[in-house]
Chains A and B, each alone.
Chain A
Amino acid sequence: MRAANGPPVPLPPRTCRRWASVATDYLGLAAALAGLILVFSLSTQHFFSRTTFLTIANQIPAAVLVATAMTYMLLMAEIDLSVGSVLGLCSCVLGVALTRWHWPLPLAVVAGLATGLACGAFNGGVSLHWRLPSFIVTLGMLEIARGGAHAVTRSQTQYIGAPIAGIAETHALGLSLPFLMAIAVVVIAQGVLTRTVFGRYLVAIGTNEEAVRLSGIDPRPIKLTVFLITGLLVACAAVIDTSRFQSANPNAGSGLELQAIAAAVIGGTSLLGGRGSVVGTLFGVLIIAVLNSGLASVGARDETKRLVTGAVIVAAVILDQVRHRLGKAGAS
């Protein structure tokens, strides 16, 4: 170290100020979530109940894992459009391994996870080696994985039943194992993002990849790692959903990529890279889930749900832009 080189040093900024800024970062999202819950609670008495929240808690773990992975991708200024199909493929591999090949559960789960990792390795390897945009490579993978899912199942939904139900039905502290797992993933992913060398590199690459390269850091291994993490998280989501439905459907996860992007964007992640957070994305997933379940409980039809969800996504991005500009104007 070159400690001898400089004059005496002022103390680093107080950490309490840092916590205050963290709190204000999520205040808007928390308020939006609370507002939605309030509105639905006032408009129907069916909504504000233990059942509603348990249902939501059961529904979201897979979406949280996938949206977390998507947030990492977007932070790095990359995108993965194949997450939905890869989830379907992993689920089908798991299902077929159990029903047709009669593999033991742990081995089948490993096969499912390996499938996800392999897809991530393919996406990352191809896009990095040939310097192709991840948008194109993962668009290809979207079709490949969906085709694969239909091929291994011969387009038949695989009913698994009891053997796999255990994963989703294990509970601790009144919460399901997948839900606890999703929360743990969010906490770890946010910590890695903000507190580790890897996370810093991730944000730096999304901000200016060329500057990172010229700083003597090879961006490729970091990018490949994120592709692999994405594959693994999507495979975990597949295991969770397969267990929840006790079956493997070759069409599972259709459109999930767009939901994941929507959740990340609502949570304040920029599609241009370099800005975003996993906790914000968690709020994004919750807002979408509450919106869906709330609209269902007030009896809204499917088309209304989609209209409202779309409007919320656009409104969230506008609000985020305004907030960001105000923040910048205040700083300069």
Chain B
Amino acid sequence: MTSGEPLLTVSGLGKSYGPVTALARVDFDLRRGEVHALVGENGAGKSTLSRIIAGITPADTGQMSLAGRRFAPRDRRDAQSCGVRMVMQELNLVGSLTVAEGLFFDCLPHRWGWINYPQLHRQARSLLDRVGLQGLDPGRALGTLGVGQQMMIEIAAGLSRRCDLLILDEPTAALTDAETGHLFAQIAAMKAAGTGILYISHRLEEIRRIADRISVLRDGRKVTCLPSAGVSLDEIVRLMVGRTLDKAAERTPRPPGPVALEVRGLRRGPVVKDVSFDVRRGEILGFAGLMGSGRTETMRALFGADLPDAGTVRLQGSSDPAVIRSPQDAVRQGLALLTENRKEQGLLLPLTVRANITLPSLTRFSGSAGWVRRAAESVEAARWIAALAIRCRGAEQPVAELSGGNQQKVVLAKWLLRDCDVLIFDEPTRGIDVGAKFEIWQLLEDLAAKGKAIVVISSDLPELMALCDRIAVLSAGRLAATFLRGEWTQHAILAAALSGYLTETSQ
């Protein structure tokens, strides 16, 4: 078993969903001991291709061979028994199980049905150590972990079984840099052992770092396959979207307006210890920080989604503190929170684009006795669909059928219609493809130019650096530093993000 020989060969693979072609006659190969990256915008066919290989979705046409033998998995289990595993983008962990149970769910060590917990925990311990989760108790409930740690558990579960071909779909989307480092170390080890890795990601820098070859998909077709050495980011992006993007260019700074939101001494539970900051009208303020640094919790507390223990919030330069005891209070006073999990907390997935956009402003469309004026509602929904270029069949299409980027635009539209002055975005581009990402950035800049105050939380530092006027860094629940545009470097921001944890351990 030498590295370099082909492990998986795919030819003429096609898949259609009704009239929509998801994949059209794609040829593809993966060698042993290779990391092969799959890039493309959402809907380009990356997920369809990988799901076919993993046995989750059957192909319409084409064939595959694995290690020289015909490979036609009936289902995911069948593929797994052939050594093909996929770690899904959407987590499928059971929250009430413990970490150890989740890791070995389909092969719990037992005698006559009674689980052998000491053995299970020993197995889990060694696996967790391997992926760099030394501090994690295998007896902890999965539901109490953060998204990043859950993803690492999911990856660890994939690593623990026989695995010749591992498919990773956006594995680092929710990982911290340290966790990403551990993951890449694991990938390197598996590579050395001859495992072929199919790696799907939107994070092009990361791909350049670990991939041997890159295949670019666009509209269900393979555009090209090229060795990653010597490829520039711009070139990959150009191949993906079929046009050049010069978005990274320096932006002219905007003159900041009056203070729109002033937060002083905000505290909430063990996570938010002391946060103070201001945002001005026409300004984009970024929030950087490691996973668990309290960014999301800070925003939820000031929005009234969770009640803060202490702290004051002042709006629009008022000298009196605003009373925000619930999200209604916040919305009434012009605050909007676009949550990190848009599917769970932002959208009514089975309902129409129209119903989602008008939800916070519905009373505005009501005539006498609370009857909704449907025509006015439809007109307004259509206006926002056009204004934000939301790609959908129309205002009556259920939001669940839209892509991630367009769903995010629906969330944005609902708050713009509500006419909020301060918009807080928590990870606005997570899981969104490159093209839609630039569109969202453009929308944020337009909003700032119109005098809205914008707060953006992001774990993607280049995103914050491209977008923000200032970047605040949270570390262990405290504001560690604030940088102005031009003053920051990636190094300085990371150092600030780590600072709170250093002082904490020394205490």
Contact = CB atoms under 8 A, between A and B. Distances in A.
A217 B360 contact: yes
Interface stretch (B28-36, B143-151, B343-351): B343-351
Interface string A138-180: 0000000000000000000000000000000000000000000
A42 to B, nearest CB: 40
B382 A12 contact: yes
Contacts of A212: 348, 359
A215 B359 contact: yes
Nearest to A210: B345
B275 interface: no
B159 interface: no
Given A6-B387, A211-B346, A197 B332 contact: no
A217 B328 contact: yes
A249 to B, nearest CB: 38
B109 interface: no
A40 B351 CA distance: 39
Contacts of B362: 197, 200-201
Interface in B299-343: 303, 305, 326-328, 330-332, 337, 339
Nearest to A2: B419
A9, A207, A218 interface centre (most CB from chain B within 10 Å): A9
B394 interface: yes
B268 interface: no
A110 B52 CA distance: 65
B383 interface: yes
Counting chain B residues whose Cβ lies within 8 A of the other chain, the interface size class is 35 or more
Interface string B347-364: 111110001000110111
B383 A6 contact: yes
B382 to A, nearest CB: 5
B366 A211 contact: no
B370 A198 contact: yes
Contact of A214 (B337, B384, B386): B337
A332 B331 contact: no
Counting chain A residues whose Cβ lies within 8 A of the other chain, the interface size class is 35 or more
Contacts, number: 117
A1, A204, A216 interface centre (most CB from chain B within 10 Å): A216
Contact of B330 (A1, A12, A216, A329): A216
A329 B18 CA distance: 8
A210 B359 contact: no
B379 A9 contact: yes
Contact of B349 (A196, A203, A208): A208
A275 interface: yes
B347 A211 contact: yes
A213 B414 CA distance: 14
B346 A332 contact: no
A11 B379 CA distance: 7
A11 B378 CA distance: 8
B75 interface: no
B369 interface: yes
Contacts of A211: 344-348
Contacts of B332: 216
Given A9-B383, A195-B374, A200-B372, 13 more contacts: A1-B364, A197-B372, A204-B355, A208-B349, A212-B348, A212-B359, A213-B327, A214-B305, A215-B360, A217-B328, A218-B326, A329-B18, A332-B20
20 contacts: A1-B380, A6-B383, A6-B384, A7-B386, A9-B379, A12-B374, A13-B395, A195-B371, A198-B370, A200-B362, A201-B362, A204-B348, A208-B344, A212-B359, A213-B327, A214-B303, A216-B331, A274-B350, A330-B18, A332-B18
Closest 6 CB pairs of A and B: A216-B331, A12-B378, A6-B383, A6-B387, A207-B348, A215-B360
